[in-house]
Amino acid sequence: MARKVKETDDLPKAKINKTSLKKALRIFEYVGEHKWKLYLGLFFLLLTGGTALLFPMMLGNLIKTIEQKDFTKINEIGIYLIIVLSLQSVFSYFRIYLFVNYTENTLASLRQAVYAHLIALPMSFFVQQRVGDLNSRMSADISQIQDTLTTTIAEFLRQFMLVIGGIILLLYISPKLTLMMLAIVPVVAVAAVVFGRFIRKSSKTVQEKIAASNTVIEETLQGITNVKAFANEFFENARYKKSTQEIIINAIKGGKYRGGFASFIIFCLFGSIVAVIWYGVFLASQNQLLIGDLISFILYSAFVGASFGGIAELYAQIQKAIGSVERVFEILDEKPEDIDITDTHNNTVRVNGNVRFEEVAFTYPSRKEIQVLKNITLNVSKGETIAIVGPSGSGKSTLIGLLLRFYDPEKGILYIDDKDAKNYSLTALRNNMAIVPQDVLLFGGSIKENIAYGKPNATISEIVEAARKANALEFIDIFPEKLETIVGERGVKLSGGQRQRIAIARAVLKDPSILILDEATSSLDSESERVVQEALDKLMVGRTSFVIAHRLSTIRKADKIVVIDKGTVKEIGTHEELMNLDNGMYRSLSNLQTQLL
């Protein structure tokens, strides 16, 4: 049966050198007060290796009592063997317990530090990263570090101790036999490891082919309507047949490799053991070696051979762990935003909501060849509703991103209440803002938890009042669990209009000075749009509101409508003023939408 492929199997390795080791040792910055557990665990590791090396020698001494016909020591040696085994068991328990204890505490600190740092990073970082890659660093990479700190390093040191100690004791027992053993057994053991790794790679290929065939099944069944509508049953059957043929080819090839590996083990590995025993018996027949020493030698040889093979595999795991540490610390080395995430922050610094963009220009760091905003100047007074319209890619969302300080202008200044926005702390500034987006993202908890996201320390009465103002109570009260109703992943158990009203309730609860509505009703049906728009109208009263809209009928009452095209402000005015402009862009857009209705 093929070995199950773990998520850590595909992790790349790092070369072990002075630089990589220095980076890897940064992990111990997170050990904290648990460092003593590491040192004590290493002490028990030393004791475990020492007692393991005593066992073959004592067993050989037990056999010697027969050769030397000194039966008085049989019980004494037997008792010592039991004591050594008992001590080794106790030492192993404490070694494993202490290593697991310090590892889990260290990794908990590391996980918390990485997550806290990750969510404090600027938007410029996230637009250049894939969520799957970041998840992998938080899961697969840290799991690899966990395995390494818990078992791999300890096992590597133990195996290394057994190799060195075993060879010293082998030389003590018989230098001639040791030289022969070192010429054969380690080479065979390392070859077995390399061969075994090759076989696992072959097994992994089979697993990947099986996964590919399952993908065919999944796609076919999910799209069964299309399959039958296009009469493509033959095509899909041929596709699946081709996929299964690839499984057969790779599986048979893997079977050949496994057969060859079995032959290699039987002939070479066991053959080398036979050769060592044969030469040992020959030396014993020449009175150069006692049978008891031969038994000890065979056991030590087995220790050394197994440890040689184990060290090669463990070294590969350590290489992966060092690579994982480097990838995790790449996140920690990114410069975060200047925000404080140690505590919940109430809106203590209240702004009035006067906003001014003065000659603002901006280019995304990842697309420096395209200037998205060009010398934007815009004045918005407290309590005004500003609608921002324009073609896709004109810079509307970028303007909002600057307002939220997801990015800072490369030129010009953004003023909030006649004060440079950079002079506010990010936490204080964003606490004065709320956004209701087109695609509302709800977290997988309850309705109450999602509304309270706008003010985590809100009371139940505050949450209920926010839901009422958002026209959300009318559907919340229908659910048996009411506010405790679970919304599902991304809010899938709620309709689009219901999700929008939860987002509005969240904004109501936050009580922002500046409100941002990003296509908040564009994807709703007429009835849902009416209910949501009513809630939005109530929410906008007394607040500075920025409304991004493609559906121009929703912004006719705005105090100002700003038309942006290719990063510049083309027109500013009320609906009536802009409709009276000959050849105006807003008038053209409005007329076009009217014709399409």
In this prediction, residue 5 carries a pLDDT of 43
Instruction: Determine the 3-state secondary structure of 588 from DSSP.
Output: helix
Residue 143 has pLDDT above 50, yes or no: yes
Dist. CA 148–CA 132, nearest whole Å: 23
Beta strands 411-416; 385-389: pairing state:
unpaired
Closest-CA residue to 412 (of 442, 369, 444, 378): 378
The answer to whether 514 and 539 have CB atoms below 8 angstroms apart is: no
Mean pLDDT of 463-476: 83
**What DSSP letter does each residue of 377-393 carry, written as one string?**
EEEE-TT-EEEEE-STT
The answer to whether 357 and 376 have CB atoms below 8 angstroms apart is: yes
The answer to whether 203 and 253 have CB atoms below 8 angstroms apart is: no
Closest-CA residue to 440 (of 500, 508, 524): 500
Cα 197 off chain centre by = 27
In this prediction, residue 16 carries a pLDDT of 67
Beta strands 419-420; 411-416: pairing state:
antiparallel
Joined tokens for residue 162? 């057994």
Bridge partners of 545? 385, 515
Closest-CA residue to 310 (of 158, 83, 144, 184): 158
In this prediction, residue 584 carries a pLDDT of 78
In this prediction, residue 521 carries a pLDDT of 65
* Residue 441 banded pLDDT, cuts 50, 70, 90: confident
Give every CB contact of residue 568 below 8 A, 6+ residues apart in sequence.
374, 375, 376
Q: Which of 63-72, 123-132, 145-154, 419-428 has the lowest mean pLDDT?
A: 63-72
- Give kind and range of the element (H or E) at residue 290: none
Compute the Cα dihedral for 385, 390, 395, 401 and give only its sign.
positive
Q: In this structure, what DSSP letter does residue 266 have?
A: I
Bridge partners of 566? none
The pTM (predicted TM-score) of the whole model is 0.69
Instruction: Give per-residue pLDDT as tens, 367-414.
Output: 777 888 888 888 888 888 888 888 877 888 888 888 888 888 888 888
Residue 3 has pLDDT above 50, yes or no: no
CB count in 10 Å sphere of residue 383: 16
Mean predicted lDDT score pLDDT of the chain: 78
* Residue 140 banded pLDDT, cuts 50, 70, 90: confident
Joined tokens for residue 527? 């009835």
Mean pLDDT of 531-541: 77
In this prediction, residue 2 carries a pLDDT of 39
Closest-CA residue to 496 (of 479, 519, 463, 477): 519
Give the rounded percent of residues in the chain with a pLDDT score beyond 90: 0
- Give kind and range of the element (H or E) at residue 330: helix 291-332
In this prediction, residue 402 carries a pLDDT of 87
Bridge partners of 514? 433, 544
Q: Strand order of the sheet with strand 371-380?
A: 371-380, 355-363, 411-416, 419-420
User: Residue 358 — φ and ψ, nearest 5°?
Assistant: -120, 105
In this prediction, residue 524 carries a pLDDT of 62
Mean pLDDT of 45-73: 76
CB count in 10 Å sphere of residue 337: 17
Q: Where are the alpha helices (DSSP H) in 418-516?
A: 426-430, 447-451, 460-469, 473-476, 496-510
In this prediction, residue 4 carries a pLDDT of 44
Dist. CA 545–CA 512, nearest whole Å: 10
Q: Distance of CA 533 to CAs 390, 400, 464, 466, 519, Å?
A: 21, 21, 19, 15, 11
Closest-CA residue to 174 (of 272, 292, 306, 307): 292
Dist. CA 273–CA 185, nearest whole Å: 8
Dist. CA 251–CA 213, nearest whole Å: 14
Bridge partners of 414? 357
* Residue 437 banded pLDDT, cuts 50, 70, 90: confident
Could you list the beta-strand ranges (E) of 402-468: 411-416, 419-420, 433-436
In this prediction, residue 60 carries a pLDDT of 75
Residue 366 has pLDDT above 80, yes or no: no
* Most confident of the ranges 196-210, 432-446, 523-537: 432-446
Q: Where are the alpha helices (DSSP H) in 120-152?
A: 123-126, 131-136, 142-147
Compute the Cα dihedral for 489, 494, 497, 502 and give only its sign.
negative
Instruction: Give per-residue pLDDT as tens, 487-508.
Output: 777 677 787 778 888 888 888 8
Name which residue leads in pLDDT, 49 or 8.
Answer: 49
In this prediction, residue 92 carries a pLDDT of 85
- Give kind and range of the element (H or E) at residue 376: strand 371-380
Joined tokens for residue 445? 């908890």
Dist. CA 434–CA 443, nearest whole Å: 17
- Amino acid identity, position 287: N
The answer to whether 530 and 501 have CB atoms below 8 angstroms apart is: no
The answer to whether 546 and 515 have CB atoms below 8 angstroms apart is: yes
In this prediction, residue 345 carries a pLDDT of 57
- Give kind and range of the element (H or E) at residue 356: strand 355-363
Mean pLDDT of 66-73: 68
Place of tokens 């975060």: 336
User: Residue 326 — φ and ψ, nearest 5°?
Assistant: -60, -40
User: Residue 420 — φ and ψ, nearest 5°?
Assistant: -50, 125
- Amino acid identity, position 80: Y
Mean pLDDT of 55-78: 73
The answer to whether 395 and 567 have CB atoms below 8 angstroms apart is: yes
In this prediction, residue 523 carries a pLDDT of 58
Give every CB contact of residue 54 below 8 A, 6+ residues apart in sequence.
84
Joined tokens for residue 526? 């007429």
* Residue 348 banded pLDDT, cuts 50, 70, 90: low
Q: At what angle do helices 460-469 and 526-540 cross, to 10 degrees?
A: 120
Dist. CA 121–CA 108, nearest whole Å: 20
* Residue 1 banded pLDDT, cuts 50, 70, 90: very low
Q: What angle do CA 214, 220, 226 make, to 5 degrees?
A: 170
Mean pLDDT of 327-344: 75
